[in-house]
Amino acid sequence: MNADAGGAAEAGLRLQVRAIRLLAERTHAFELADPDGALLPPFEAGAHVDLHLPGGLVRSYSLAGDPSQRSHWLLGVLREAEGRGGSRALHDRVRVGDVLAASAPRNAFALVPGAAHTVLLAGGIGITPLKAMAHALAARGASFELHHCVRSPRHAAFAAELAATVPAGRLHRHFDGGHPAQSLDIAALLARPAPGTHLYCCGPAGFMQACAEASRHWDTGRVHFEHFKPPAEAAPAVAAGAFEVLLARRGIRVPVGPDQTIVRAIELAGLRVPTSCLSGLCGTCKTDYLEGEVEHLDYILSDEEQARCLTPCVSRARSPLLVLDL
């Protein structure tokens, strides 16, 4: 994940930039460690942290390192000249020795234990959470394969580390000259899902769309996506229609205007829901609901989760009242 995170993200850790190294074209690795050399909190493959950057920006980055390695965390970040400024701030203004505030790791893209086989499918810098997964799967001797679609060898981040981690014959790099969805016949790769196989995809929008179309016939519980940003055809973050939420534990009713998110309406009532991406991507704001009909606008919750919780940063009510377990 390399998503825009809202300013409300919590910053419980202070991390020192231990090293910065070139990984690939416009892409650097940032190694973050405790300033006093203490071990960092454990994390699971697929997790991300919110990093507080110069200029007051907060951005989410997947942890790309080996989860068993607690001396430092590793990020892989593509500098996006036309982005919203997070990757530019990190590349242009952060130097070795700087100390940055960060959240604890959170994971909305975790490996499902016990898979018979795992297919990891990365587009470009979407390799970061999948690299951590490759370390975890290799460490437990699990059956897996990793496909990395990139423009050219010059754009392939973590090439050496992946070659050293993924078992022989299971690492496939696909070069396409700039059209990630075309470098690999994703439909052919995913045409016949073997029993017990799980699929994990992360990459830019076009690549993710190709993965989603090619895996439509898979069981939804066996397909896992991590989007950088909401898909282009997404519904607007704020849909039409006013409604009310009842915060059941406090007995407070909060009106939600047609141009407000539930998170914002609750903030205006003097309370706070933890948030990070504010886009329905990270799961930080996930909240149980007790009554009402939800219009789910997230990209992260499974069908099973949507039956009991919602992401109030984007999702809304279809009923006049929504009762939240808050």
Chain contacts with ligand FES (rule: CB under 6 A): 275-278, 280-285, 298, 311, 313
CA-CA distance, 299 to 210, in Å (whole number)?
A: 16
DSSP class of 177 = S
Closest separation in Å from C-beta 43 to ligand FES:
18
CA-CA distance, 130 to 65, in Å (whole number)?
A: 10
Between residues 190 and 281, which has the closer beta carbon with respect to ligand FES?
Answer: 281
Closest separation in Å from C-beta 275 to ligand FES:
4
Question: 289-300 b/e with 16+ CB inside 10 Å = b?
Answer: beebebbbbbbb
Amino acid at 151: R
Closest separation in Å from C-beta 64 to ligand FES:
20
> Residue 16 burial (CB < 10 Å; 0-12/13-18/19+)?
middle
Between residues 189 and 277, which has the closer beta carbon with respect to ligand FES?
Answer: 277
Between residues 87 and 315, which has the closer beta carbon with respect to ligand FES?
Answer: 315
Closest separation in Å from C-beta 92 to ligand FES:
26
Sign for the CA dihedral angle at 92, 103, 301, 269 comes to: negative
Closest separation in Å from C-beta 95 to ligand FES:
29
Between residues 165 and 276, which has the closer beta carbon with respect to ligand FES?
Answer: 276
Closest separation in Å from C-beta 310 to ligand FES:
9
**Residue 295, C-beta contacts closer than 8 angstroms, at least 6 positions apart:** 239, 315, 316, 317, 318
Structural contact between residues 288 and 272, judged by C-beta atoms closer than 8 angstroms: no
Q: Tokens 């409300």 belong to which residue? A: 8
C-alpha distances out from residue 7 to 37, 52, 103, 229, Å: 28, 9, 12, 17
Q: Tokens 């959170």 belong to which residue? A: 106
Closest separation in Å from C-beta 132 to ligand FES:
19
Between residues 244 and 305, which has the closer beta carbon with respect to ligand FES?
Answer: 305
Closest separation in Å from C-beta 226 to ligand FES:
12
Between residues 1 and 125, which has the closer beta carbon with respect to ligand FES?
Answer: 1
Q: β-pairing, 243-247 with 321-324?
A: parallel
Between residues 223 and 281, which has the closer beta carbon with respect to ligand FES?
Answer: 281
Between residues 90 and 313, which has the closer beta carbon with respect to ligand FES?
Answer: 313
CA 210 to chain centre: 18
> Which residues are paired to 227 by β-bridges?
203
